[in-house]
Amino acid sequence: MDRRCDRVRTQRPSAEDRWSRAHRRDDSLMFARPRDVARLGLMASAAIVLFAFESLVPKPLPWMRLGLGNLPVLVALVSFGGGPALAISTIKLVVGGLLSGGFAGPAFVIGGGAGLASWLVMVAVRRIGARLFSVVGLSIWGALAHQLSQLALAAGYIGHSGLFALLPLALFSALVSGGVIGLLAWWTLEQLAKIGWLDQGQL
C-alpha cells in the first residue's frame, strides 16, 4: 500500500514540486508542438479579453488596475517559459493599444516599458529564486517592478519628480494586485493540471 501511494505521489507531483522544477526548464521553443502553439494562442486571446474587460472598469487613478490581463502571462511564464510569456505580453499590449486607440502613444510606451521591466524581474526571480518564491511571490515581484518602472517612466516623461509622492500608494497597489493575480494564477495552474491541459513536465 505504501509503495502504491509513493508511486501516485511520483506521478502527480504537488504544486510546490512543480514550481521548484520550473526554473530548470529550458525556455527555448518548448512550445514548438502544434498543441502548445494552440494553447498559447488561447492564452494570448484570454489576455486580450481580460485586458479589454478591465479597461472598461473605472479606476481611482489612470495607472492603478488589478492587471487581469497579466494572469495568462504569468501562467505562460510558469508553464512554458519566459519567451512565450513575453510573446503573449507583447500581443496583449499591441492589440490592447489598437483597441483603446492609444497605440504608440505615451501610455502605450510607458505601459510597454513597465511590462518589459516586470517580465525581466519575473524571469530573474524564477531562475534565481524559484525555491524561495511561490507563484504568488513571483507575481508580487512582477507587480512591484511594473508599478515602480511605470512611475519612473511617467515622471521622466512629464519631467516632474512630484509623481514619486505616489510611491507608497504604488507599492501598496502592487502588493495587492500581485497577490491577487498570483493566487488566481496558482489556482488556474492547478485546474489546468487536473484536466490534463498542461503536461506534468511543463509545470
Q: Is residue 3 part of a domain?
A: no
Tell me the three cell numbers of residue 102: 492609444
Q: Supply the pTM of this predicted model.
A: 0.78
Q: What is the pLDDT of residues 105-147, one digit of tens each?
A: 788 888 889 999 999 999 999 988 777 889 999 999 999 999 9
Whole-angstrom Cα distance, residue 23 to residue 30? 13
Q: 2-40 as b/e, with b when 16 or more CB fall inside 10 Å?
A: eeeeeeeeeeeeeeeebbeebeebebeebbeeeebeebb
Q: What is the pLDDT of residues 80-105, one digit of tens each?
A: 999 999 999 999 999 988 887 777 77
Q: CATH no. for residue 117?
A: 1.10.1760.20
Q: Is residue 12 part of a domain?
A: no
CA-based R_g, the chain, Å? 18
- For residue 63, is pLDDT > 90? no
Q: What is the pLDDT of residues 141-176, one digit of tens each?
A: 999 999 999 989 988 888 777 778 888 988 999 999
Catalogue the E-assigned strands of 2-143: none
Q: How many domains does the chain have?
A: 1
Half-sphere exposure of 160 (CA within 13 A, CB side): 6
Q: Is residue 52 part of a domain?
A: yes
Q: Is residue 134 part of a domain?
A: yes
Q: Is residue 9 part of a domain?
A: no
Domain extent for 187:
33-195
Q: Is residue 47 part of a domain?
A: yes
Catalogue the E-assigned strands of 19-118: none
